[in-house]
Structure 1
Amino acid sequence: MVERVNQRWVRFGRELKRLRTKAGLSQHQLGKEIAVSHAMISAIERGARGARREHVEQFDQVLSTGGALLRSWERLSENNGLPSWFRGVASLEQQATEIKSFQPLLVHGLLQTEDYARTILRDGRPMDSDSAIDELVYGRMARQAAFTDGNMPLLLGVLDETVIRRPVGGPTVMKPQLERLLQASESSRVTLQVVPQATENNPGLSGAFTLLTVGGAEILYMETPLSGAPVESLEDVAQYVRLLGDIRGVALPPRESRKLIEAVRGEFL
């Protein structure tokens, strides 16, 4: 299996390796100093995974670089591989205390696996180069990496059953994606509900939307394949708060939703 790398990660990894070698430390020794595995250090240096800010700060401290690695990391992470129109929303996600969404077609970006994200981005943007797709995948994974157990907001995801049954990328992509949803649902901060396909009166057929609670206020976010923008109109927000309540009213409870996801996962052999 060919290992995928991101060019931003590769550049940072090369600099980390150079400074680690200069300091006379092995990957094992550096990993031990900051309490991570040497395998993680190796993956970062190869560009196979990104580094979190807290790890970069620890690298600087251990390697006595005077903050050089953090400055490099910040330059390379400036755009985070996100479309310009989405960067403000990504910032709102990190400020939010609660994120609630309804998704009738696809898994929410914060819960996608890398292969699932790559598949839908590749299929939806056939004219983009592989490097451009890599940048978008990187941005999506970076959004997820920004959330740790300590700062993760409450997340409510309501999905149409179509989302979990559509064989995006085939079983090799879809089964791990469903396992990702099941894993996420084990967290006390994540609630998942599924609207059954058999629902005769489904109020969610008008499309996907997300509600973010930031500073005690609700912000509505909606997008098209080409753009998106937050909506702060109290009237519009109130309409979608009611709509989400209506959709949840026809969705399965969390426990039954989990059972359905488990059952569908078993169908992807």
Structure 2
Amino acid sequence: MTERTHEIWLPFGKMVRAARLEQGLTHRGLAERIQSSHGLISKIENAKRATSKETVLLLDTALKFDGKLVRRWESVIRTQSSPDWFQRAKEYEEQAREMKFFHPLAVPGFFQTPEYSQLVITASSPGITGEQLASITEARRAWRQRLRVGQGLVLNVVIPESAFIAARHEPEVMRGQIDRLLDEAEARSTTIQVLPATSRDLTWTCGAFRLLYLRDTDTLLCAEHALGEEFSDAEEQVSNMEAAFSRLQAWALPPDASRDKMTDYRGSL
């Protein structure tokens, strides 16, 4: 029986194959380096089989990826299974008393409607499959549903005005997204601020991030990147991003003015 190709693993397999050929290795030669079978190497390269993290760590070392292959593997695992993708975040967030969000290009995923989420994901990942898209969209919906404010969780978010402008070509989607934000802003424990388009360059914020203030007084930084998310409790990193968020709040419109801004923009669509 012919084994089926797992489309989601094709880019990963191509990475392994390209690195193996670049180093002049055969399937058997690479297999010997990681003490495995050449048949397994072939199946990994052709996306016939997913592999374990232990094997990925060996491949990463043997092919001198410096961790890049491991990060790609973790990214596929997160995309393939949304519960895995959000599991670590879930554990931390259930301990949080306050969360702060910022994304320089879009409404943060926590506050996205399913329609807006699909729009953002397809724009940033053109090759994504329908199954992957549905999985990520549902995971984001469930993420917010799971952390409904009602147990003292405080939410603060700064959203660049450019995030609204970027989606103006989809007015129905954007109207629904703004309605969602206006509803969220009604909660006393939620503060939403709009950062005017005339504000300073945001590149120094290092991209999308959120801060989690845990009930045991620890603070965690979650930094988003192309291959997923990374959590850190390093004091200097956390302190830098707390300072960044404070600046963003200072530059942003006050909550009432932000609601007016969103309402006005919705009316212009």
TM-score (norm. length: structure 1): 0.65
Match of 1:199 in 2: 199
Please give the residue correspondences for 1:116-131 in structure 2 after superposition, counting only pairs within 5 Å.
116-131=116-131
Match of 1:183 in 2: 183
Q: 1-side partners of 2:184 and 2:151: how far apart? A: 15
Q: Which amino acid aligns with 1:116?
A: Y
Match of 1:240 in 2: 241
SS of 2:82 mapped into structure 1: coil
SS of 2:212 mapped into structure 1: strand
Q: 2-side partners of 1:181 and 1:161: how far apart? A: 13
What is the deviation of 1:201?
6.4
Query: Residue deviations 1:209-265, cap 9 Å, x none?
Result: 110011211101101132211111011111111111112111111111111111111
What is the deviation of 1:133?
1.2
- Conservation of the 8 A alpha-carbon contact between 2:205 and 2:244: no
Q: 2-side partners of 1:197 and 1:255: how far apart? A: 18
Match of 2:111 in 1: 111
- Conservation of the 8 A alpha-carbon contact between 1:158 and 1:248: yes
Please give the residue correspondences for 1:169-180 in structure 2 after superposition, counting only pairs within 5 Å.
170-180=170-180
- The count of corresponding residues between Structure 1 and Structure 2 is 190
Q: Which amino acid aligns with 1:233?
A: A
Q: Which amino acid aligns with 2:98?
A: E
SS of 2:247 mapped into structure 1: helix
Q: Which amino acid aligns with 1:265?
A: R
Match of 2:139 in 1: 139
SS of 2:167 mapped into structure 1: coil
Q: 2-side partners of 1:87 and 1:260: how far apart? A: 35
- Conservation of the 8 A alpha-carbon contact between 1:168 and 1:174: yes
Q: Which has the larger radius of gyration?
A: 2
Match of 1:92 in 2: 92
What is the deviation of 1:168?
6.0
Q: 1-side partners of 2:160 and 2:204: how far apart? A: 9
**1:171–1:228 distance in 2 versus 1, CA, 3 Å:** same
Match of 1:251 in 2: 252
Q: Which amino acid aligns with 1:187?
A: A
**1:201–1:115 distance in 2 versus 1, CA, 3 Å:** closer
Q: Which amino acid aligns with 2:217?
A: G
Match of 1:220 in 2: 221
Q: Work out whether 1:208 is the aligned partner of 2:213.
A: no
Q: 2-side partners of 1:81 and 1:169: how far apart? A: 31
What is the deviation of 1:151?
3.0
Q: 1-side partners of 2:153 and 2:204: how far apart? A: 24
Q: Which amino acid aligns with 2:247?
A: D
- Conservation of the 8 A alpha-carbon contact between 1:119 and 1:168: no
Match of 2:3 in 1: none
What is the deviation of 1:86?
4.0
SS of 1:101 mapped into structure 2: strand
Query: Residue deviations 1:164-196, cap 9 Å, x none?
Result: 222166011111001111111011011011111
Q: 1-side partners of 2:151 and 2:169: how far apart? A: 32
- Conservation of the 8 A alpha-carbon contact between 1:203 and 1:246: no
Q: Which amino acid aligns with 2:264?
A: A
SS of 1:127 mapped into structure 2: coil
How large is the RMSD of aligned CA atoms in angstroms? 2.3
SS of 1:257 mapped into structure 2: helix
TM-score (norm. length: structure 2): 0.65
**1:99–1:83 distance in 2 versus 1, CA, 3 Å:** same
Please give the residue correspondences for 1:18-167 in structure 2 after superposition, counting only pairs within 5 Å.
81-82=81-82, 84-151=84-151, 153-167=153-167
SS of 1:97 mapped into structure 2: strand
SS of 1:197 mapped into structure 2: coil
**1:83–1:204 distance in 2 versus 1, CA, 3 Å:** farther
- Identity value in percent: 28
